[in-house]
């Protein structure tokens, strides 16, 4: 038996097989590292941070598609967006009708629509600077933005008794800055916005950025030739994920390029898109954007 084992160990084929295993491990590690780098680039390119954090919905989402589509198509697009949201773990408004906090507009000219909003519905542009609005009115196939609020870990919003009417018309009412049982405070203290925090952590921040409303405006000529699923999935990725389209030629396929007009666009939300939304909504949003981006990229690279 000992002689047989000695002979087997000297067989060249066996020695080669044993030597090949470490090489296979190196190849696998290299492929995994490449996938993670590509995922990190993808996440960095499409994500938008607000004050160093990634915003997301914490309230149930109520979708409304307006203009440019027949009623039966509107119903299909709205249903598909709700389906994408549910798959990502996002709460959906159960009561119907509900107050829309995710509006998708199919416009003859999106730039002109935003200009009209600035005059007729300035509350839909709350928190945007004049330069932000200028970008939204730049010609292009689509534009998207979100209204966000700063909240503590319990969901209480930054309070300010002088919050504008336009702001409170679309956002939940803020808590009064004067709520300490009638104790006298200076006018400066009363006027100053405040945010109560209840915990401290070296990993998570005591605050988060909540999406209160999202708007996606798509030019009607840009959707010619697209399926209703492509339209819905594009809008869902932009509004639910608070994302932007990446530059052409990115390493990872995404529905966000469906309006680029270059190459063959994805037919629906890609696995990477779905993984992005699922990873984003798997946490409470209290960590720094850089930390969350790394975690999201890992999940995309790992196929989760």
Structure tokens belonging to residue 7: 């002979």
Divide the 304 residues of the chain into consecutive groups of 10 and give the mean pLDDT of each group: 44 48 68 88 95 95 96 98 98 93 97 96 92 94 95 68 34 30 39 53 75 97 97 98 91 94 90 98 93 95 82
Tokens 């790992």 found at: 302
**Domain residue ranges in the chain:** 40-174+210-301
User: Environment class of residue 206 by beta-carbon count within 10 Å: exposed (0-12), middle (13-18) or buried (19+)?
Assistant: middle
* Strand order from edge to edge, sheet including 63-66: 63-66, 102-107, 207-219, 142-152
Inter-helix orientation angle 271-280/289-301, to 10°: 140
Tokens 């995710």 found at: 102
This prediction has a pTM of 0.79
**Who's near 235: CB < 8 A, 6+ residues apart?**
77, 81, 104, 216, 218
Tokens 């829309």 found at: 100
What is the pLDDT, as a whole number, of residue 21?
63
What is the pLDDT, as a whole number, of residue 67?
92
Q: For residue 239, which of 49, 96, 42, 104 has the smallest C-alpha distance? A: 104
What is the pLDDT, as a whole number, of residue 196?
56
User: Environment class of residue 291 by beta-carbon count within 10 Å: exposed (0-12), middle (13-18) or buried (19+)?
Assistant: middle
Distance CA 13, CA 24 (A): 16
What is the pLDDT, as a whole number, of residue 286?
87
What is the pLDDT, as a whole number, of residue 19?
53
What is the pLDDT, as a whole number, of residue 291?
95
């Amino acid at each position: 038996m000992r002689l047989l084992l000695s002979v087997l160990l000297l067989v060249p084929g066996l020695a080669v097989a044993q030597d090949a295993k470490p090489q296979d491990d190196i190849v696998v590690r290299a492929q995994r590292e490449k996938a993670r780098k590509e995922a990190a680039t993808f996440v960095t390119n499409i994500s938008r941070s607000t004050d160093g954090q990634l915003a997301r919905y914490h309230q149930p989402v109520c979708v409304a598609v307006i203009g440019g589509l027949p009623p039966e198509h509107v119903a299909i697009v709205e249903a598909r967006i709700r389906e994408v949201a549910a798959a990502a773990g996002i709460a959906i408004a159960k009561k119907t009708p509900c107050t829309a906090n995710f509006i998708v507009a199919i416009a003859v000219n999106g730039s002109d629509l935003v200009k009209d909003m600035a005059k007729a519905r300035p509350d839909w542009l709350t928190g945007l600077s004049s330069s932000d609005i200028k970008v939204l009115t730049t010609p292009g196939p689509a534009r998207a933005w979100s209204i966000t609020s700063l909240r503590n870990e319990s969901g209480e919003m930054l309070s300010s008794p002088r919050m504008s009417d336009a702001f409170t018309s679309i956002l939940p009412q803020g808590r009064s800055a004067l709520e300490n049982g009638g104790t006298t405070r200076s006018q400066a203290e009363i006027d100053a916005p405040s945010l109560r925090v209840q915990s401290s952590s070296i990993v998570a921040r005591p605050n988060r950025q909540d999406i209160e409303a999202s708007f996606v405006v798509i030019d009607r000529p840009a959707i010619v030739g697209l399926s209703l699923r492509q339209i819905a999935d594009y809008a869902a990725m932009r509004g639910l994920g608070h994302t932007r389209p990446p530059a052409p030629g990115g390493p990872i396929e995404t529905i966000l390029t469906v309006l680029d007009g270059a190459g063959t666009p994805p037919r629906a939300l890609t696995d990477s898109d779905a993984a992005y939304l699922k990873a984003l909504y798997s946490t409470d949003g209290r960590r720094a954007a850089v930390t969350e981006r790394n975690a999201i990229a890992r999940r995309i690279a790992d196929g989760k």
